[in-house]
A = this chain, B = another copy of it.
Amino acid sequence: MTSSFLSVRKREGRPSPDAVASLNVELAARFGNRFSASEAIRQQHGHTLTWLENQPPDSVVFAETREDAVDLVKICARHDAPIIPFGTGSSLEGHVNAPHGGVSLDLSRMNHILAVNAEDLDCVVEPGVTRTQLNAWLHDSGLFFPIDPGADASLGGMASTRASGTNAVRYGTMKDLVLSLGVVTADGTFLRTGTRAKKSAAGYDLTHLFVGAEGTLGVVVEVTLKLSGLPEAVSAATCSVPDVRSACNTTIETIQSGLPIARIELLDTLSVRAFNAYSHLSLPEAPMLIVEFHGTDSGVVEQARRFGDIVTGNGGGNFIWATRPEERTKLWKARHDGFYAQMALRRGARPFATDTCVPISRLADCVEETLADIAATGLVAPIVGHVGDGNFHVSPLVDMKNPKEIEAAEAFASRLAHRAIAMGGTCTGEHGVGQKKIAYMEDEHGAAAVDLMRRVKAAFDPQNLFNPGKIFAV
C-alpha cells in the first residue's frame, strides 16, 4: 500500500535554542513551579535503565489534572514541540527518551483512584497510579489487579507498552485487562475509547489501538481496568529441572493439560545464582521453575498434585513450597528484583534487555539455540522467562567501555530477535518497540502491515507531536 497521500511529519535533530526558550516562557506562565527546565530534572526524565543512551527532554511539566495535559498538548502543538508522556520511567526500551527534544509530560502526580466498582470487577484510575498503589488500595475489597511487570510501573505506562509480567499466563496482559482509556488527542481533545460494558461491538476498537501505542497516538490520562477476585487459596513453589528443555516441556504439558496455573517462571542457572546473591536466598543452583497456584483450597491441592506429576515425568523435582504468605512475598520480591539481581552479576556493566516471545511449541528450541549462541559468543547473559506465555528475557551484561563487547551484544540481540520471528514469534512480548526494536518491525510484520501502522499514526498525529522516534524511525 503506498503512503503518498498520508505521511507523518519527519523530525530531524532537536529544536533550536530559540524555539526552546520561546516555548519555555509559555510553559512557565501556564504551569508555574510545575514546569522545570533544570538539568537534573531533565536528565532524570530521559534516564534509561539499560544500555540505551539517555536523551533528555528540553523541559518537564508535571501534570496534576486532565486539563493540564490538554493545555500542554495545545501549547506544544502551537510550538511544534514533541510531547513525551512519562509515568515512572521504568521502561526498558527508551520510551521516555527525547531524541527530538520537546517536553516530558510527567503524569506521576495524576495518581488518584477515581472509582472502584466492586460489583462490576472494574476500577477507573489516573495514569500515574502504580500497580502496587492500586493493590494496596484494593487490599480489603477482596479484589486485586494481577498484572505485575518487574518494576512498580504506572498503570498509564503499562497500558501504553502493553505490559504483562508473571500473572499473565492466567490473567492476561494489559491488552486483556484495559476496558477503556481516556486520552488527549493531537488537537487537545479529551475522549474515552470505550465504555465499562464487558462486551461491545460498537465500531472500531480504539481502546486496543491506544494500548501498546507507546504514547505515539495521544496521552493516556485515565485508565479503566478489569479487576479479579482474590483467590481463596494460594500456593507457590520452586522446583529444579535438569535443563531448560525439560523446563519448557514441563510448561507446555502444564498449559496443554488445561491446568489453570497462575504463574510459571523459568530461571536459568546463572539467574538462580544472581537471585541467591542479590536477594539472600539459597535456591539450588540449577535451572528452576517458580510456580503459583490460585483457586479453592481443594483446587490448589489438586493443581499442585497434577503439576508435580508433570515435573516428575520430565525428570525434575526438589520442590520447595512457600506456604506462608511472607515466604511467597519474599520469593516474588526476588523475582521482581531479577533485573537488578542480574545487573549485580557484573558491576558497572549495562544490561541489553531483550524480550522475545514465541509460540510455546517452539520455546524449548528457541531457548536452547539461544543458550548455545550465548556460549559461542562468550557473553554473560542470564535468562528468565514467563514461560507459560512463551516469553523470555536474556540480559547480556556489557562493559560499555568495550566497543567489541557492545558490538557482540548488539549482534546477539539481533540474532535472537530474528530467531524468534523466524519461529513465528515476536521481537517483543511485553517491553514494547521503543527505539531499538524499530529495526525488527518490518521483519516481523512485513512492510504492508507497518505501512498500515504508519497510516494510523499519520491519521491521528500528522504533526508527529507524540513521542517521535518511537515505534517508527521518524
Contacts and interface: CB of A to CB of B under 8 A. Distances in A.
B200 A357 contact: yes
A75 interface: no
Contacts of A205: 162, 175, 205, 208-209, 211-212
Interface stretch (A9-17, A33-41, A268-276, A443-451): A443-451
A198 interface: yes
Interface string A437-474: 10011001110111011011111101000000001000
A460 B360 CA distance: 33
Contacts of A121: 255-256
Interface stretch (A48-56, A59-67, A403-411, A420-428): A420-428
Given A203-B450, A212-B201, A299-B299, A120 B359 contact: yes
Interface stretch (A80-88, A183-191, A235-243, A394-402): A183-191
Q: Which of A6, A192, A196 has the most CB of B within 10 A?
A: A196
A119 B448 contact: no
Nearest to A356: B197
Contacts of A94: none
A168 B197 CA distance: 13
A240 to B, nearest CB: 24
Given A426-B195, A448-B185, A203 B441 contact: yes
B208 A209 contact: yes
B203 A471 contact: yes
Contacts of A302: 296, 298-299
A374 to B, nearest CB: 21
A292 interface: no
A366 to B, nearest CB: 11
A206 interface: yes
Q: Give this chain's copy count.
A: 2
A248 to B, nearest CB: 11
Contacts of A168: 199
Nearest to A160: B201
B459 A458 contact: yes
A146 interface: no
B204 A471 contact: yes
Interface string A251-266: 0100111100000000
Q: Which of A168, A202, A296, A424 has the most CB of B within 10 A?
A: A202
Contact of A357 (B199, B232, B355): B199
10 contacts: A119-B361, A120-B360, A121-B256, A191-B446, A195-B425, A198-B389, A199-B391, A203-B450, A205-B205, A206-B452
Interface of A: 1-2, 5-6, 117-122, 161-164, 168, 173, 175-176, 185-187, 189-206, 208-209, 211-213, 217, 228-229, 231-232, 252, 255-258, 296, 298-299, 302, 355, 357-361, 389-391, 420-421, 424-433, 437, 440-441, 444-446, 448-450, 452-453, 455-460, 462, 471
Given A176-B176, A198-B389, A206-B453, 14 more contacts: A194-B445, A197-B391, A197-B424, A197-B429, A200-B357, A201-B428, A201-B432, A202-B426, A202-B441, A203-B433, A203-B450, A204-B453, A206-B452, A208-B208
